[in-house]
Structure formats: C-alpha cells, structure tokens
Amino acid sequence: MKIAIILFFYMKRFGLIVISCILFFGCKIKEKPEFLGLNKIKVVNVDSQNITLSADALFKNPNDVGGILKTKGLKVFVNEKKVANIVSEEFDVPSKNEFTIPLVVSIATDSLVDKNNLGSLLGSLISQRLKVRYQGEINYKVLGFSSAYNIDEERIIKVKL
C-alpha cells in the first residue's frame, strides 16, 4: 500500500514535469517584439495651464507568448527643452499581434517659458508648430528575460489654438 502511494505521487510529479516541458518548449520565443516607431503624435488639448500630447508606440510581437512593456525614463522635449517624463503602468503584450502603447503626457504651459527659449516658443506660437522629441527607454520582460528599446524620435506637430 505504501509503495502504491509513493508511486502515485512520483507519477503525478513526473506528469507535471512532462506537461510543463511540453508547454515551455512548445511555445516559440523567437525574438523580442519589434518596435515599429511612434505614430499619431499630436496635441490633444491646449488650455491656459496645460498642453496635453499623445503618441502611440507601435510594436509587432511575432512570438507565441506575450510579456510586459513599461516605460523607463522616457522624456519629452518641446523645442529642445525637457518638459516632462512619461511614467506608465506595465502594459501586457499580446502574442502574435501588432499593438500600440499610448503615451500621454500633460505639460504645464509655464514650464515651456524661460528666457533661453522664449524666441523659440514665440516662433512656434506664430507658426502654430512645435518640435516634439521623445527620448528614453521602453523595457520588455518575458519569462525572466528583459531587454530595452531605445526611443529617440522627433516630429514637428501642428498646434491648433
């Protein structure tokens, strides 16, 4: 009787190990998701106190498993002046799919004004265009492995006052 119980527990454990190996080795993890770029960088809202910018970070995941993406030290520059840091929650990466991560930041209008860039700001207001730059990292984690995407993209965007 004792031998049957011991044998049952070993078979159960062996079965769990076999199923875990099949699941682990059956799922393909070819490479980290591909960063395709920033899309739809635009001014969402402008008022006397804040300017809200949004952008979509576009990725493509060819793998059978997902993962997690999180921004790390992603900075926003307007007309060459650092005005904000983007901090986001962790984002679940879907498997075998294209997906976007929304990057939304609210910038205080008084942070755009200083004596060094006043001319640049006035020129932007007259032309209704801002030079916006996103710079920093987005980190990817899956099954204990991690890697980083270096982001450094700049666009001229139109501002509707």
> For residue 40, what are its two tokens?
């739809």
Whether the per-residue pLDDT at 137 is higher than 80: the answer is yes
Which residues share a beta bridge with 43? 53
Task: Choose among 57, 64, 32: nearest CA to 148.
Answer: 32
Q: What is the pLDDT of residue 127?
A: 52
| Most confident option among 79-88, 94-103, 111-120, 125-134 | 94-103
Distance between CA atoms of residues 77 and 133, nearest Å: 5
What is residue 135's predicted lDDT score, i.e. its pLDDT? 93
Among 39, 38, 46, smallest CA distance to 124 is for: 46
Q: How do residues 45-95 score in pLDDT, each as one tens digit?
A: 888 788 888 889 899 988 888 888 888 788 998 888 888 888 778 888 888
